Amino acid sequence: MTALPLALYTHAVIEHATRFSNQRIAPVDIAALRENNPEHWMKATAIRALTLDAVAAANSGHSGMPMGMADVATVLFEKHLKFDVSNPQWPDRDRFILSAGHGSMLIYSLLYLMGDKQVTLDQVKNFRQMGALTAGHPENFLIDAVETTTGPLGQGIANSVGFAMAEEIQRAQYGRKLVDHNTYVIAGDGCLMEGISQEAIGLAGRHSLGNLIVFWDNNNITIDGTVELSDRTNQVQRFKASGWHVQEIDGHDPEAIDAAIVAAKKTKKPSMIACKTHIAIGHAAQDTSKGHGALTDADQLAAAKAAYGWPGAAFEVPADIKAQWEAIGTRGAAEREAWEARFAEASKQKQDRFNRAYALDAPNKLSATIKALKKQISEQQPKVATRKSSEMALAAINPIMPETVGGSADLTGSNNTKTSDLGVFDTDNRKGRYIYWGIREHGMASAMNGMALHGGIRPYGGTFFCFTDYARPAMRLAALSKIPTVFVMTHDSIGVGEDGPTHQPVEHLAICRATPNTYVFRPADTVETAESWELALSSKETPSVLALTRQNLPTVRTEHKLANLTSKGAYVLAEAEGKRQVILIATGSEVSTALDAKALLEAEGIGTRVVSMPCMELFAEQDEAYRRKVLPAGAAVRVGIEAAVRQGWDQWLLGERAKPGKSDFVGMDRFGASAPAGELFEKFGITAANVADKVKALL
């Protein structure tokens, strides 16, 4: 290959280059790029042309990134990515993650070109339209070949840490014959400016995730202008500071791209390849922030195609180029078949375990294990915090579910997430099933999503419930992307006590419940905690939040029931002794408060039912007959009790045929305070006496 017009950026690794030296935007000679490697050029330009056409048709989308990264993607798919378009979910495939998800036409173009069954030409033509699989940002729940839903920046790169960890853990569990693949990521400047990227970079470096290869689309452009407007970080130095292998290349030079990937695959460190690219290359908007968005001007589009030497009309790909891409799409078929043959040779037991974990089927034993624990607890009636109850449940579950991987964001002893059998995941113990995530709630949550999406693993991880805030973008994506991640959120109320309002959640139950497709469990004791875990680990498409106490609670489920009562969302825990005049509805730590209030009221002859409501979402899913059984229409006073804001409760207190003017709520309407927990419950009136008073005021 002769000298490239981008002579500044050779594929030699440039050490210690500063961000600024990177950022001088050299001119680019499209004609030379075409001539230097015409076959590569046309394949890559098919991506560019389809992107321009689809975005123009939609009058919406992001043209520039797929155009700029087309060369990298072409070399990756043509020469490296282990992928078979006929079976895009083959377990030992390489993973490709488009962290810069706004460049979705990159992945749709690739899939269409390779002959993906879902992403047809019609889908490309209907980019971003109602009902199309080709959504504005790539969605894993629409297209099989899309590994993860991206768009909110930084999520893909943090997901990828989970993908890479999952691969390491499964390789250790099943052997290299069955698990041996890489995770490739395309990340943009936006991904790297988001704080979550630092959490991801630190984790990948710490764990020497050598199977992780990140391409940084170093185009120096953001929506507001050049990157320098807001950042001068030397990304090369930053990645190196966390132990990454870093290379800098011209992202339009196929030989440099290939050589960098070869080197990245060899190193035992995670790799970052800084690809100097031109956003919207060849278009009038090249190297400008306008090039980031939707390029829809027909004349400019035609001019760009002319400069490319692209022959086709809109959405037309010349047959020879399409054929070359289809060959790339089937390149991995032989590898897949070889893997299937190796898999067939594995023991039946290994196959079953592998298949069960990938299918997200809980083991048959799970139900019996939970029942046995419940029986024991109902007999022994321990008084423990539900975070401890959770540990007791995990101690029973983890040995029978080798697919669980636990962890905590530096609160292991507080979240009670570590059981003795897990072992610690580390560079010298890839079998370890416990991750010390560090003080990285967001990175943990996002990496857990990646682990679950990788397949074969059921991740759970803990932090304080208040720090749901930090993990929130990833928790939303779990819900949206239908990932059954389990978030173990302890210290779930003012019961936190002395740490004070910065650490006391009051609005977080409402936040989690407001989010579609999320189960929020707030169990009242060890029995309900065990039931919640059973449900969380049986869920295939819905993440679970377990809100658990810091403080000890009595066992309220003192009568053993085989049935998982939590699965109904709410149930009658204690029936009124005389005529039912009152229904108290409570969750978690307030269920025992409700029972105490019932005792006070019954002593005065006021018949009081106590309903435990560990999961509002599951209760809302029940048929009306069941809901009516638990919350009968009409005469009884209803009082809800939860040490949190009222938002979300009115459907049960005012709706569901409640009697007008006959309901109340005992909870929080402000932030908490710093004091011993018991005093706080008194101060804020979350006591049996106050509940009884409120009831009597309504009677």
Residue 101 in the binding site for its own copies (CB under 8 A): yes
Do residues 433 and 406 make contact, with C-beta atoms less than 8 angstroms apart? yes
Closest approach, Cβ 138 to its own copies, in A, equals: 9
Binding segment toward its own copies, per CB under 8 A, in 179-187, 218-226, 379-387, 688-696: 218-226
CA gap 650, 660 in Å, rounded: 12
How many residues of this chain interact with its own copies, rule: CB under 8 A?
A: 113
Binding segment toward its own copies, per CB under 8 A, in 179-187, 227-235, 447-455, 545-553: 227-235
391 has catalytic annotation:
no
Binding segment toward its own copies, per CB under 8 A, in 176-184, 212-220, 596-604, 667-675: 667-675
Closest approach, Cβ 666 to its own copies, in A, equals: 16
SS3 content of the chain, % helix, strand, coil (to 5): 45, 15, 40
The residue from 229, 372, 635, 689 that contacts its own copies (CB under 8 A) is: 229
The residue from 136, 382, 432, 607 that contacts its own copies (CB under 8 A) is: 136
Do residues 629 and 575 make contact, with C-beta atoms less than 8 angstroms apart? no
* Cβ closest to its own copies, residue 506 vs residue 615: 506
Residue 119 in the binding site for its own copies (CB under 8 A): no
Give the H/E segment covering residue 66.
Answer: helix 64-75
Do residues 505 and 369 make contact, with C-beta atoms less than 8 angstroms apart? no
Contacts (CB under 8 A) with its own copies, residues 635-654: 645, 647-648, 650-651, 654
CA gap 144, 124 in Å, rounded: 16
CB-CB neighbours of 210 under 10 Å: 20
Is 189 assigned a ligand-binding role in the annotation? yes
Residue 243 in the binding site for its own copies (CB under 8 A): yes
Residues 6+ apart with CB under 8 A from 695: 582, 584, 597, 601, 606, 608, 637, 639, 664
Could you tell me where the beta strands, DSSP code E, fall in 541-655? 544-548, 552-553, 571-574, 580-586, 607-612, 637-641
Q: What is the 3-state secondary structure (H, E, C) of 91-115?
A: CCCCEEEECCHHHHHHHHHHHHHHC
The residue from 38, 175, 318, 516 that contacts its own copies (CB under 8 A) is: 516
CA gap 439, 420 in Å, rounded: 22
CA end-to-end span of the chain = 89
Residue 296 in the binding site for its own copies (CB under 8 A): no
Binding segment toward its own copies, per CB under 8 A, in 75-83, 189-197, 321-329, 371-379: 189-197
Q: Give me the catalytic one of 147, 441, 528, 534.
A: 441
Do residues 217 and 291 make contact, with C-beta atoms less than 8 angstroms apart? no
Is 299 assigned a ligand-binding role in the annotation? no
Binding segment toward its own copies, per CB under 8 A, in 274-282, 514-522, 524-532, 557-565: 514-522
Closest approach, Cβ 555 to its own copies, in A, equals: 26
Distance from chain centroid for Cα 518: 12
Spatial strand order of the sheet with 95-98 comes to 95-98, 183-187, 212-218, 271-276, 245-250
Contacts (CB under 8 A) with its own copies, residues 472-511: 472-473, 476-477, 479-480, 497-503, 506-507, 510-511
Residue 685 in the binding site for its own copies (CB under 8 A): no
Contacts (CB under 8 A) with its own copies, residues 138-167: 139, 149-154
* Cβ closest to its own copies, residue 230 vs residue 355: 230
Contacts (CB under 8 A) with its own copies, residues 406-445: 408, 410-414, 436-440, 442-443
Q: Mind telling me the catalytic residues?
A: 441
